[in-house]
């Protein structure tokens, strides 16, 4: 035994078993991966795979990614698969408590430091040698609202004080940006949906028609269009239409056949990258990008990765989990956790603060693009749990480019606060429509439910008309929608009994149409007093409760009204029941296991600007006495 080894042995003997305990305990730590609850079963599915032996991870369910970030912040979870926008939320929660520890890269770009790089492409013989000289050029974009073709150019050109965006309060935020681009570029191809309202979308495309002039179908100016998308923007430039294209490096390589599998559509020697400093670079060399999108990755907290050994242990476990996901039979489950067949796990040499991670890519500025909104819009709430949800919604919305930016404030009387201008909007339930109207507030959007999520009346076959008018009805008095449906029935039959019959006596019962499969031997009784088969539930609704609506002052300008409508329709499109980002923030559904119908109804699916039918309506609702 050497001298050094002897000394080490003596030290370990004096210290006892505790000296080795931290490393051993660290190796046996069960790391907690937080996943949005809608994908919790997917996480369990991956961990049930026999090949997962040794991963030593468990799945923790959060409401959504915003909730998971908070759980990591609070030490209730250790890691979350997240996108750059989630990392931005983490950065603005408490930066020191979050660390980006690994990345999910792609096979073809596994050595690239960024997911993609936004570039400016010009023809080699072009006279454009600076960002300033882009003014008056013909521009080719990937599409409206997209990162490299819209958000990055607007952000960078505004920050360089080259693009001037009007502060005209008579124009919406979207129109101010479109107007700026229309005045800056002579002609463009910028396809997409400029407004969620078809009529407004059409009017904007007519007003700023030069933004659609270079498209394959200028009159449509929407997908599909051969001059849209990453490759379409290059094609728009290559085929003689444009002077400049905004796209990303990977598609340059593919379009010009510079990588295996690429199909050469043009000659790469005829084009160059335009750099921010005005220099040019050939396409066969390194690109000069003016903004990059960071990779998707795993985010943890300082405690879980405090020290090199802790970091490596968690990274190793994640790698095993990731590899297991790559080879799992259930590919859809893996994809929900951001693992797909083309993905590669990459350990970062050291844990990085989210702010540093985003700023290195120049992506923080892109997320913080203000959308040309003139001010924040203030939402009023009346309880602590409503304030908490409002702030979660605000954080998610801003990170995902939903504008205008929101601000949440708590007041004792939100109707008065909005009426007096202390706040701009509030969510109003049915029983407060009347006082809101009296305070000169008006609704701009309403909740809607699934088509078959409506209340109907089932009856035993063979009842007489007198039975229909006199028999007591069963309903759940604690469910406001059922209660109002029963009240509507009584209004129709001129009955006064508002008490439900006992559960065991369901000769007549208010039920949800989506549950009619449980009542196969019954009929429907419709508001007109006629019995019909269960299949005709659409014509037999007793739904009479008003949906929760967002109210604003009726004195707000047209632009302010349209801006707030756009805000809530965007929230619904992204975070509603069918929104593609409902795992990022759950707009509808339980806020916590014990907090239901916070701000909005659990069962709602989306916001609409108009109710499709006139029942329920406010006049009818006020007549319901029960």
% of the chain with per-residue pLDDT over 70: 92
Is residue 9's pLDDT more than 50?
A: no
Q: How many CB atoms lie within 10 A of CB 112?
A: 15
The whole-number average pLDDT for the span 385-390 is 98
Q: How many residues does the chain have?
A: 626
What is the model's pLDDT at position 425? 98
Give the CA dihedral 89, 90, 91, 92, nearest 10 degrees.
Answer: 50
Of the given ranges (23-32, 35-44, 481-490, 569-578), which has the lowest mean pLDDT?
Answer: 23-32
Report how far residue 31's alpha carbon sits from residue 381's, in angstroms, rounded to the nearest whole number.
37
**Helix, strand, or coil (residue 150):** helix
E strand or H helix at 68: helix 65-73
> What is the C-alpha separation between 205 and 202, in angstroms, rounded?
5
pLDDT of 56 reads: 85
Could you tell me if 475 and 509 are in contact, meaning their C-beta atoms sit under 8 angstroms apart?
yes
- List for the chain the helix, strand, coil content (%; round to 5): 40, 20, 40
Name the phi and psi angles at 18, rounded to 5. -60, -25
Task: Output 173 or 107, whichever has higher pLDDT.
Answer: 107
- Residue 232, pLDDT > 70, answer yes
Mean pLDDT within 369-373:
61
- pTM reported for the whole predicted model: 0.89
List the single range of 24-28, 339-343, 486-490, 509-513 with lowest mean pLDDT.
24-28
Mean pLDDT of the chain: 90
CB 591 within 8 A of CB 385: yes
Q: What percent of the chain has pLDDT over 90?
A: 77
Tokens representing 14 are 């004096």
Beta-sheet strand order (sheet of 508-512): 508-512, 455-459, 523-525, 531-532
* Mean pLDDT of all residues in 16-25: 37
- pLDDT of 3 above 50: no
Given this model, what pLDDT does residue 373 score?
58
Alpha-carbon gap, residue 346 to 102, rounded angstroms: 6
- pLDDT above 90: residue 166: no
Please tell me which residue, 373 or 71, carries the higher pLDDT value: 71
Q: Are 320 and 27 in contact (CB under 8 A)?
A: no
Query: What is the Cα–Cα distance from 152 to 158, expressed in whole angstroms?
Result: 10
pLDDT for 26 beyond 60: no
Q: In whole angstroms, how large is the CA radius of gyration of the chain? A: 29
Residue 379 has pLDDT above 50, yes or no: yes
Structure tokens at 6: 């002897």
| pLDDT for the residue 23 | 36
Query: What confidence score (pLDDT) does residue 49 get?
Result: 59
Confidence band (pLDDT; 50, 70, 90) for 51?
low
Average pLDDT over residues 254-275: 91
- Strand pairing category for 57-62 and 31-36: parallel
pLDDT in tens, 392-440: 999 999 999 998 899 999 999 999 999 999 999 999 999 999 999 999 9
109 conformational bin, left if phi > 0, alpha if psi -120 to 50, beta if neither: alpha
pLDDT of residue 259: 84
CA nearest 548: which of 432, 424, 446?
Answer: 446
**What mean pLDDT is predicted for residues 76-104?**
93
How far is 86 from 393, CA to CA, in rounded Å?
13
- Does position 444 have pLDDT exceeding 60, yes or no? yes
Q: Is the pLDDT of residue 13 over 60?
A: no
């Amino acid at each position: 035994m050497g001298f050094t080894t002897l000394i080490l042995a003596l030290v370990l003997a004096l210290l006892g078993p505790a000296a080795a305990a931290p490393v051993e305990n660290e190796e046996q730590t069960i790391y907690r991966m937080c996943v949005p609850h809608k994908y919790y079963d997917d996480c369990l599915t991956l961990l049930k795979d026999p090949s997962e032996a040794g991963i030593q991870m468990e799945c923790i369910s959060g409401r959504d990614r915003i909730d998971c970030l908070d759980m990591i912040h609070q030490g209730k979870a250790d890691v979350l698969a997240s996108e750059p926008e989630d990392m931005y939320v983490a950065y603005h929660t408490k930066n020191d408590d979050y660390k980006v520890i690994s990345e999910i890269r792609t096979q073809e770009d596994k050595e690239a430091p960024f997911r993609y790089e936004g570039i400016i492409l010009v023809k080699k013989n072009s006279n454009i040698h600076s960002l300033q000289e882009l003014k008056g050029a013909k521009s080719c974009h990937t599409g409206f609202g997209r990162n490299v073709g819209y958000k990055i150019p607007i952000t960078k050109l505004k920050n360089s004080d080259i693009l001037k965006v009007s502060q005209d309060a008579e124009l919406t935020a979207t129109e101010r940006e479109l107007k700026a681009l229309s005045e800056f570029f002579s002609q463009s191809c910028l396809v997409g949906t400029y407004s969620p309202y078809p009529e407004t979308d059409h009017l904007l495309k007519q007003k700023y028609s030069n933004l659609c002039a270079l498209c394959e179908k200028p009159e449509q100016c929407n997908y599909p269009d051969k001059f849209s998308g990453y490759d379409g923007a290059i094609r728009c430039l290559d085929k003689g239409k444009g002077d400049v294209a905004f796209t990303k490096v990977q598609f340059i390589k593919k379009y010009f056949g510079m990588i295996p599998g690429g199909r050469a559509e043009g000659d790469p020697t005829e084009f160059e990258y335009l750099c921010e400093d005005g220099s040019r670079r050939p396409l066969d060399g390194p690109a000069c990008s003016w903004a990059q999108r960071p990779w998707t990755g795993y985010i943890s907290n300082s405690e879980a990765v405090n020290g090199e050994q802790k970091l490596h242990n968690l990274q190793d476990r994640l790698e095993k989990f990731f590899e297991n996901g790559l080879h799992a039979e259930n590919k859809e489950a893996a994809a929900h956790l951001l693992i797909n067949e083309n993905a590669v796990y990459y350990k970062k040499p050291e844990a990085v603060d989210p702010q540093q991670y985003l700023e290195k890519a120049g992506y923080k500025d892109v997320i913080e693009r203000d959308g040309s909104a003139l001010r924040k819009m203030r939402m009023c709430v009346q309880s602590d749990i409503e304030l908490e949800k409002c702030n979660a919604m605000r954080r998610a919305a801003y990170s995902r480019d939903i504008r205008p930016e929101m601000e949440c404030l708590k007041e004792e009387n939100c109707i008065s606060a909005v009426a007096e201008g202390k706040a701009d909007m509030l969510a109003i339930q049915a029983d407060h429509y009347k006082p809101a109207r009296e305070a000169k507030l008006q609704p701009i959007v309403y909740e809607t439910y699934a088509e078959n999520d409506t209340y109907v009346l089932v009856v035993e076959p063979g009842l007489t008309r007198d039975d229909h008018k006199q028999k007591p009805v069963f309903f759940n008095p604690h469910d406001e929608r059922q209660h109002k449906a029963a009240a509507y029935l009584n209004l129709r039959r001129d009955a006064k009994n508002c008490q439900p019959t006992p559960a065991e006596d369901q000769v007549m019962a208010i039920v949800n149409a989506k549950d009619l499969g449980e009542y196969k031997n019954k009929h429907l009784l419709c508001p007109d007093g006629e019995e019909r088969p269960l299949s005709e539930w659409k014509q037999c609704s007793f739904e009479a409760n008003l949906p929760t609506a967002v109210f604003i002052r009726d004195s707000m300008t047209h632009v302010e009204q349209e801006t707030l409508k756009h805000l809530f329709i965007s929230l619904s499109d992204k975070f509603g029941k069918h929104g593609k980002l409902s795992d990022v923030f759950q707009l509808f559904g339980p806020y916590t296991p014990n907090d239901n119908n916070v701000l909005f109804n659990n069962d709602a699916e989306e916001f609409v600007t108009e109710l499709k039918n006139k029942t329920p309506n406010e006049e009818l609702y006020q007549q319901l006495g029960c």
